[in-house]
Structure formats: C-alpha cells, structure tokens
Structure 1
C-alpha cells in the first residue's frame, strides 16, 4: 500500500467526517437534554416516577430498534442516503416533542428520536471506518464519540442557561428540546454534498464510482491501491455474503466475535455512564446540591467527558485498544467503590458530601471517556467482517441500547431502594466482571487494515496474535 500523504484530499476527508459526525452531536444532545428538562416537564405534565422513567427510556428503546433495523437498511440503501434519512427523523422527532400536548405525543416523539439516535449510533461509525485509511482509522472513527459527548455537554450548558434564565416560564423544557432541530438541518444539507462509502459502492459492484470517491479523499496512487485491495476482499467473501446467518453460525470465530461485540456494547452501558448523563441532576440533588446548583454542577462531568474523549482520540493510534478498554473498566470499578464509600461514610447534611461525590463522579466520567467510550465505538466499527458488519454492529448496538434503556428505566427505583451506596457498589462489581470478559475475548485491531482484521477474525488468527503479543 502506498504511504499516506497529505494534500487537498486530507481536508476533504476531514470535512466529510465533520458533517457525518453531526449525527453524533444529535445523538449526544437528544440523550443528554432530558437531564435538565425532566423536572420542569414532570411539573407541567404531572408525571409520576414511573412515567418519568417511561419518557426517559422511550428514546432508548426506540434507539435499540433503530440500531438493528436502520443498520441493516444501510446495507441495501447506502450509508449516505441512510444518514440523510436520519436527519429528517431527528428534525421530525424534535418537532413532535416540542409541540406535544401530553404524554402520548411526547413519548411518540421520543421514540422517533430514539430510532434516529440508534440508526446514527450504527451507521455513522461504520461510514467513518469505511472512509478512513487504516493508519488513522481509530482517530477518525473516534471523532463520532467526541461529537456525542460534545452534544451531551451542549445539552447540559443549554439546560443550565435556559433553566437559570427562563426557568420561570411555562414550557421551558420545550425550548431545551427545540434546540436539537438546528444541527438536524445542518446534517441534512451537509450530507447532500457528501460522498457514499467507497467500500459500500464496491460491495454493490459500482467500481468506477468507488474509485472516484477514493480519489477525492486519497492520493491517486493510494486510491487505486485501496480500491483494488477492497475489490479483492469483496470478491473473496462473496460466498459468505450469500450465506448470511449460516456463515456466522457455522464459523466459531464469527460466533465469538459477535459475542465480543455484544459484550462491548452491553458492558459499556453497565459502567453506569448514561445513568449520570440522564439522571445527573437527580444524583447530584441526592448528593446534597440544590436543584439549580445541580444544573450548573452537571456541566463539570460533561466538560471532563469532552476533554477525556479528545485525549482518547489522540491515544487511539498510540495505545492498543485492548489496553485502553481493560484499563478503563479497572479505573471505573475503583471510582464506583469510592463513590459508594463516600455516600456511606459522609452523612446527608455534611457540607463536604456533595463536592466530594461530584469530584469522584468527574473522575468516573473522565475514566470512561478517556479509556472506554471512544475505544468501544471504534472497535465495534472495526471487528466485524464486511459481509456481517452492519448485522454485527446492529445486533451489538441493539443490545447496547436495550441495556441502556432497561438501566435508565430502573435507575430511579434502584437509587430509591438501595441508595447511592448500593447502586455504585453494584456498578463496581459489574465493571470488575467486565475486566475479565475483555481480557478473555477482545482482539487487538490497531495498526491493521479492515481487510486484515477481517481475515484474522474469520480464521481466528487475530486471537493467536493477541496471545503471542502478551507473552
């Protein structure tokens, strides 16, 4: 493969990634905005604890379905066209939520947003991975996670500003939700000018179009070499393409990588990171902050999330993926133990309690964003062979969103039953288990082309290499 060079094609690739990751920004904003909108929404609509959980989790159950169905749709319809459709769904969902007269329409709007979020969580990382040169695939694919946490931070800042300046108005939560329509418009018009994935085009037999796309984001020599490499890989896997599920079930290594993908998705949610993203105001209020102070304090975990993900992006081409993931789960388990111990040892009313817990929550969020979240999304976009990439990604992200939804639905009840102490000790135990699971099954993909990863995963050689490198 000719070496990677810089030029106008580098700027073009960066622009394509920037526009596509607006889907990640919407993902982050629409999942994070409920953090500050929930309390005023509950007061206006008369929500109970159960219906609060329904409103929060309805988006997540929608995301589980969207991850499965829309990921598969992109196989036949194309990554670019699918992202354009998602932008329309983001806009329509925002309009439904903002104009909702009551709970049923609000839940319908949240489900529609969830379908879009789930689709974006599957399609955008695959689109980026299929566009990226293997030398910078981790950092380019990881930009989507940076945009996700940037979207969540934007939601926290918007919530804090609107909540503290317009909190006296009826329907202030509608203003918070309406902001998400703006990036949806930019995503729609931006993607109209973006190219299709060259790997998808080659899988459809559209060789000339694929080479034309590659020529805009690579040097001419590199574009021709990559097109030929991908063409050979597509031809070699033609039989697997036709056999679909049977190929996966018949090959123990493909079964194993599917289990690893599901574990990556589910265990990332069981860190408890999104419980903080959705119920951060509730947790901080429980810790001892006042309601308005909690809105402001909520910005700190959001800000450290963005900083952590930016550092993670820099680390992706310098540190092995396995090392990052195993380190992340270890640090997260330690943070959870410390949060639970602080909630146990510092009684309510102690003036230090809310600030110590906030500092530990910031450390927890930083650990997840620095070592886990970027690496998880990059790995999910890398580990599956092309013929099962959308299917494997869809199943993994479906399971991820289902775990997210169930945890979000039950988290308020969990805190009510066992308190902060019991909740975070439980998270610590799950994260300790995650360390063992990742040490057992996670392959190393850094420094390999997608075609090399595909061959290694299909034959099991990637696990042998991993064992040899650890000796």
Structure 2
C-alpha cells in the first residue's frame, strides 16, 4: 500500500472531547455544502439583473445558468477519483481554492462569454464538493449517527440557497436601480470559501481513507480523536479488516462492474441520481423568481416571495434530519417522490385554470413551497446520504463520482432546458412533463432501492455481496 499525503496529527481526545471534535469536523467540512447552495441559488435573483447588463436571451440565459451545472458534472466525475487518490481532506481544500477563483471570475465577468466560462469553473468546485463532502462525512461518522451527520451537509446546502435568496432580495430591493448589483450578489461567496480553506487545514483525514492507504496507526489516532476509546478500538478493527480485504482485491475500476453485486449497486446509485433531479426541483431553485413573475408577481415582489422557498427548504431539511433517525430511507424516498409529483401536477393544473393575477401567484407560491417541503425534507437528504453509503470502499470514489456526474448532467439539462420549455409550451405544460417523470421515479424507487438504515458501511458491503450470492445461487438452481 502506498503512503498517504501528510495530514495534521490527530491526537487522541480526552474523554468527552470526541463529540466536540466530531461536531467541529462536521461544521467545517459542510462549508462546502454552504458554497454549493449559495452558488447554485444566487443565480435565481441575479439573473434578472444580468439580463439587462449582459443582454441575455432565453438561450444565453439557459447557458449562464446551466454552465455551472455542466462544470459540476465533471467536477463530480473526477472529484471522486482524485479524493480516492489524494485524500478527502486535501481534495476539499483544493475545492475551496477553486470556489474562490470561480467566484471572483464570475463577479468581474465583462461579457456573457466570460460569465459562462467562469460559471463552468465554479461548477467544477460545486460538483467536487457534492461528491467529496458527503463521503468525508460518512467516513468520519459512527454508523448510528451517520444519517444525521451526512444530512447536515444537505442542511448547509439549503441554508446557502436561503442566504442567497435573502441577499438577492435585500440587494435587489435596496439597490436594484444601481448598475451591476448582481456582482455584489455573487461576490459574497468568497467569504465561506476562505473559511473552508482555513478550517480544513486543522481537520483530520478520513480514517477509512487512511486505512485504505495502509496507514493504520494514523487511522487509529483519528478514530481516537472523534470517538470514545472503546468505540475507536472496536471500529478500528472493523475498518482495518475491510481495508485489507479491499486492498487484496485492488482498488476498483470500471472493469469491476462486471461483478454482478457491484454492477447492481452502481445501477442503483445512477438511478438515485436521476430520480432526484427529474422532479424538476432546480427549475424552482434556479428560476423561482421568474416562475413567480410569470404567475403574477412583480420583479421585486417575486424576489421577496422567493425567500419563502428558501425558508421552507431549510425547515424541511431539519424535519428530514429528524425523520432519518426514525424512518427508513427507502420509505422516505418514495413518500417524497409521491408528494413532489402531486405538487407538480397541481402547479400545472392551477397555472392552466387560474387567470393571471395575485391569486394565481399566491397559489403557485403555496404549491412550490409544498413541493420543496417534500423534496428537501425527504428526497434530497436521502439521496445524498444513500449515495455516500451504498458503495463499497473499493469503488466508493468511482461510484459516487459517476452517480454525481449523471445527477449534474440531468441537472444541467433541466437548468438549460427550462427557459426553452417555458417559452415554447408554457408554465403549466412544463410542470405536467415533470409530473410524468415523477411517476417513473416512484416506480424505480419502489422496485430497486434497498434499505440502508442502521447498517455500518462494512455491513452494507457484506449485505450486497450476500444478496448477489443468493440471487446467483437461485439462478444456478433454475438452470439445473
């Protein structure tokens, strides 16, 4: 096994301090989620002002919005592999630098072309964070608290989006007549980028990644820092045994997908990525202000009303984190998909039958809030949590990266296509399309998604192997 890159020394914590240390690790690393949320949400309010300053058309509007998402797809694809090679902690630090560079490039963009390129660079960081931060959290978390800890990243994502909506509304309503106000909306993201880079300098590396590299002494040291002494010793033996087993079979590559149980997990991961995005959630998160304007609100009123979408996203995520400790992941996912599909159908119906005006606007706002309650309270936290935990260590970077790549590609298609659909077929028909896709998402979740609640990462790996073994045995029996 090759030696990992040097990381800060992880001293064993005094009794009781391990909880504080784990909490600090969680808070600092999830600044990556905060940046993810702010950079994807800020375009919602900045776009109307960019339209005036940069002369955007529906086509270039879609390109400015979705170029970040296209970049995120590649950031996710390569971010997972780079995190496997160089470590989760170092990767997050690199992402913080890219966040800073990308934000400054967007802020000072003189033209549409430069803005599209700068948003692509920023997207590399967003995509890398979407893969690396949940995996880092999953690998530092004890199994009985993994659900709540990993989904705190989702909480930070929606908090970042809420902050973007609030700053957009304040700046737009107070200084909206000033030229280039959208630049001030964008530049705020430099502050959490700097905080993330500084904070991660003092955080430990993932103990599971250290074990996969053969650094068992440092693995134990990190576990002793973020666990009680008894928990650290017990978990160290599990992690060490699984790391040795995975090393013997070498790190995963695309060829490993020829193994049935790995291929099935990979397929489930890709499916989870797709069904999270085809709800059309990001049509609301990126174009919520335009949707409300189309429904009857003025521009400034739409900016303010859109804050409700951010508030409900944060509140729903709190509820989702609580539910993850009580309810199975699979059940939450299917319930969330049913709720979002119903809300999408109703948005389409009421957009069609209600005349333009304030009543229509408030009805659509109430339905988008309802939609986000199901999306952010169930679908989104479960998706990122399950993606971080279903893949075995040997293909965790590969599987998470490929799934997140597909998630961002679908996200890109939604972000790019929504203005075109809106102009071509109208608001109601656009949401009818999303509702039909939602029915397909429910069917997939019901048939293929397994339950992962209360299982350690090592337990999950053994579980999938056993299921695959049983199916292979049954198939062989039928052949005989």
Indicate whether the TM-score tops 0.5.
Answer: yes
SS at match of 2:327: coil
2:159 to 141, 150, 154: 150
Aligned equivalent of 1:455: 462
Q: CA deviation at 1:168?
A: 1.3
Aligned equivalent of 2:476: none
Q: CA deviation at 1:412?
A: 0.7
Aligned equivalent of 1:164: 173
C-alpha distance in 1, partners of 2:218/2:113?
45
Q: How well do the aligned residues superpose, as a CA RMSD in angstroms? A: 1.4
Q: CA deviation at 1:397?
A: 0.3
SS at match of 1:352: helix
Aligned equivalent of 2:3: none
| 2:62 aligned with 1:39 | no
Aligned equivalent of 1:333: 341
Matches within 5 A, 1:119-268: 119-242=128-251, 244-249=253-258, 251-268=259-276
C-alpha distance in 2, partners of 1:353/1:157?
23
**Cα gap change, 1:367/1:6 in structure 2, threshold over 3 Å: closer, same or farther?**
farther
2:360 to 336, 353, 358: 353
Q: CA deviation at 1:82?
A: 0.4
Determine if contact 1:444/1:462 at 8 Å carries over to the other structure: no
| TM-score normalised by the chain length of structure 2 | 0.93
2:83 to 74, 77, 94: 74
C-alpha distance in 1, partners of 2:252/2:51?
50
- Structure 1 portions without partners, runs of 5+: 465-471
1:297 to 295, 299, 305: 305
Determine if contact 2:252/2:398 at 8 Å carries over to the other structure: no
C-alpha distance in 1, partners of 2:191/2:422?
35
SS at match of 2:68: helix
C-alpha distance in 1, partners of 2:59/2:15?
54
Matches within 5 A, 1:295-444: 295-349=303-357, 351-444=358-451
Aligned equivalent of 1:467: none
Q: CA deviation at 1:264?
A: 0.7
C-alpha distance in 2, partners of 1:148/1:359?
22
Q: CA deviation at 1:102?
A: 1.3
1:55-80 superposed Cα distances (whole Å, 9 cap, x missing partner): 10100000000000111100011000
2:39 to 26, 30, 48: 30
Q: CA deviation at 1:244?
A: 2.6
- Structure 2 portions without partners, runs of 5+: 1-13, 472-480
1:357-407 superposed Cα distances (whole Å, 9 cap, x missing partner): 110110001111111110110000000000001100000000000000011
C-alpha distance in 2, partners of 1:433/1:317?
27
**Cα gap change, 1:81/1:314 in structure 2, threshold over 3 Å: closer, same or farther?**
same
